[in-house]
Structures are given as C-alpha cells and as structure tokens.
Amino acid sequence: MTRSRRAARGGAGRAPAPLGLRGGLTGLTGLTGLAVVAGLVSGCGIRATTVPVDVGPAPSRVSCDTPDQASGQGGVQGFRASVELVCGSQLVGVERIVPVPEKRVVRDPVALVAQALLEALEKSPSAQERDAGFSTGVPSGLTAGAPRPGDPAGAVRLSRKPEDLPPVALSQIVCTLAGNEAVSAGPGPVVLGGPDADPPRAWECTDAVRSRPESVPTLGELVRPSATPS
C-alpha cells in the first residue's frame, strides 16, 4: 500500500452514513416529535378534529354600564323614566329625566307621556352612552296620538303602523311604554295601533324580547274593539 493511499484512507476519517440511513434518522426524529405532541394532546383530553366547531359569537367588549343620566338633568322639567336602548344586541334600560313635549297638541294624558317617551327614544344617545355601547333604532318623526273611538283604555295610536316599524325599534317602544306606569297600569301588554282604522294590537315586553329585540313578533295580539267609546 502506498503512502498516498494510506493518507487518503486515514485523512477521510469515518465513512459517512449512507444517505438512506440519514433520511431514516431524520424521519425517526420527526415521528418521535409527533408522538410527543400527540401524547400531550391526548393527556389534556383534547381530540384532534377537522370538523369546524361553533363556539358562539365573540364576547362583546361594550360595558353597557353608564351612570344615572337623570342625576345630571336637574334643570330639565319632565318626569323620571327608564328608556330602553340597544346595547350588546339586547335592550338595556337607561334612567333619564324625560322632558314633556313643548307642543302639547295631544290632550290625552297617556298619549302625551307616550309622545315624550318616543322623543326620548328617537334622540341620539349621549357621547358617554355611545362609548358604553348604547344605540337606538327608533326612527325620528314618530308621534303618538290618542285612541280612536272603540279602542281600549290606554291604547296609543302611532303615526306609523307598529308592524311596519323595524323589529328592534318596536321592541324598544313596547318595553319603554310597558315600564312606565302612566302608559301601562301594571305588568302586561302594551296596546298600540296605527293611524288608520285597523284595530290596535297588544305586545308584551318579555325576557325573550329584551334579550333578542330583533325577533319580536311582527304582529301583536289583536284587541277587540270596546263596546263603549273611550
């Protein structure tokens, strides 16, 4: 054996591992890592799945919490009432001093209070209320009128048919009027009608309406005309 051959064999050191063996080691390492991950997942009680899971809507970040707005309205002449606004896709009552309408064209006391509450609902929430997530869906220009002959006592005639209003707006109106003793004598439905001669209908402010105002029944329960004019 010549010196050149010995140098070549000695300087080469260890012979490199076959390519297939190196690939096998790499694959084995990857498989070992996957086995460890799988063991951790199974140990946590989590099953791998490719089926989409519906976890519901993301939690709302709005606070829906504002201080008593009535405390800062000491100079306003009106009455204290809870006005139902929308916050976090639900109805939340906000305490206010509701001003009495300046144009008192309606002499009926129930319609007068209803008109004041409608104007409070139509009014845009304050900056503080908007920051807390409050909004309103009641359209502007909506008015309340006295009941027609034959309507039950306490009925309120709106300038638009209640069933033609957006569902959220109708929910706000129903729950606001239902919570006021001047309009609603106690727990029970609110009787609303439109400007035409159609008989009024009754709507209730239930927990379902408050939690899902967009799903309020479009038509309320039909109220039979009264035998004696109101």
According to the model, what pLDDT value does residue 138 have?
Answer: 97
Average pLDDT, the chain: 74
- Calpha distance 154→68 (Å, rounded): 29
pLDDT at 110 over 60: yes
- Calpha distance 230→226 (Å, rounded): 8
Encoding tokens for residue 162? 């209640």
For residue range 189-214, what is the model confidence (pLDDT) as tens digits? Answer: 899 999 998 999 999 999 999 999 99
- The helix (run of H) or strand (run of E) holding residue 80 is strand 78-87
Encoding tokens for residue 212? 């899902």
Q: Looking at residue 26, what DSSP letter applies?
A: H
Averaged pLDDT, 125-149 = 93
pLDDT at 4 over 80: no
For residue range 148-172, what is the model confidence (pLDDT) as tens digits? Answer: 999 998 899 999 999 999 999 999 9
Averaged pLDDT, 85-108 = 85
According to the model, what pLDDT value does residue 72 have?
Answer: 52
CA angle 224, 225, 227 (to 5 degrees): 120
Task: Write down the pTM of the prediction.
Answer: 0.69
